[in-house]
A = this chain, B = another copy of it.
């Protein structure tokens, strides 16, 4: 199997990243972050979520972020998360080119996180897909807890594959297979993507890895070696994890770019420009960010004294 010479990164820092951070950025800050990312070459960017802002205040102003970024650059591909029909109706006012829905792969997580069973979560998607089709909007499907659940432990590969296929058949152009708590092993990644590829074309599969246990890059490499070439990442590694003080959230965009840089794999993104965002972003967040490449930078030979 020839591996892809290109990968596509979906920048999720403004949504999955920020929604897990304590610091709440203003609309102006989020728009500025979006502009810096797009200027560095990011083509696909999640800009926020149409959710209940009393529950997730970090997502407040998603409408304005989306509108301002779209008016600034109409070529980039913007997405927003919509949990249900209500969110979708809100999203429709701003005509994003893409929306995203999400489901958890364990019943316990689904109940705890979105207050419904897995079956009910698919029921909620139906009107979203119908409205999306009518309005020619692409739908991305997120599956979370695909490699393990904090409440149930192991998650069945069959459940994940069935749910991914179901989302795909409902009309999702892409299914993002998520290791939400950063527990996946390389062996699991190989196993599950091999099963997924049998039912869903690789162009419709994405990998979404958190770096909680430092495994994200190895898992991305394992998925890439299975023919997967779409990955979610978050600038600076935004998205702190509640399980440990120093733990990271999403895998950092900088670290993923660094890995692929010398493999002859193109991303369309300028790593140096991405690295230039870190000092500014640290200031906005008022804290250090977990991206290791972001903190250390590229190899810069030192003069010999």
Contact = CB atoms under 8 A, between A and B. Distances in A.
Given A186-B259, A252-B214, A293-B213, A301 B221 contact: no
B262 A185 contact: yes
A301 B151 contact: yes
Contacts of A263: 185-187, 190
Interface of A: 108, 111-112, 148-153, 181-183, 185-188, 190, 211-215, 217-218, 220-222, 225, 241, 243-244, 246-248, 252, 255, 258-264, 288, 291-293, 295-296, 299, 301-304
Contact of A264 (B187, B213, B296): B187
Contacts of A218: 217-218, 220-221, 259
B259 A301 contact: no
11 contacts: A151-B304, A182-B296, A185-B261, A185-B263, A186-B262, A187-B263, A188-B262, A213-B296, A214-B217, A244-B296, A246-B295
Give the oligomeric copy count. Answer: 2
B243 A296 contact: yes
A223 to B, nearest CB: 11
Contacts of A222: 221
A33 to B, nearest CB: 21
A304 B112 contact: yes
Contacts of A247: 292, 295-296
A299 B185 contact: no
A301 B106 CA distance: 12
Contacts of A217: 214-215, 217-218
B185 A255 contact: no
A303 to B, nearest CB: 8
Contacts of A220: 218
A255 B151 contact: no
A8 to B, nearest CB: 18
Given A255-B213, A293-B213, A296-B247, A186 B304 contact: no
Contact of A258 (B215, B260, B304): B215
A246 B295 CA distance: 8
A114 to B, nearest CB: 14
Given A214-B217, A215-B255, A217-B214, A183 B299 contact: yes
Contacts of A264: 187
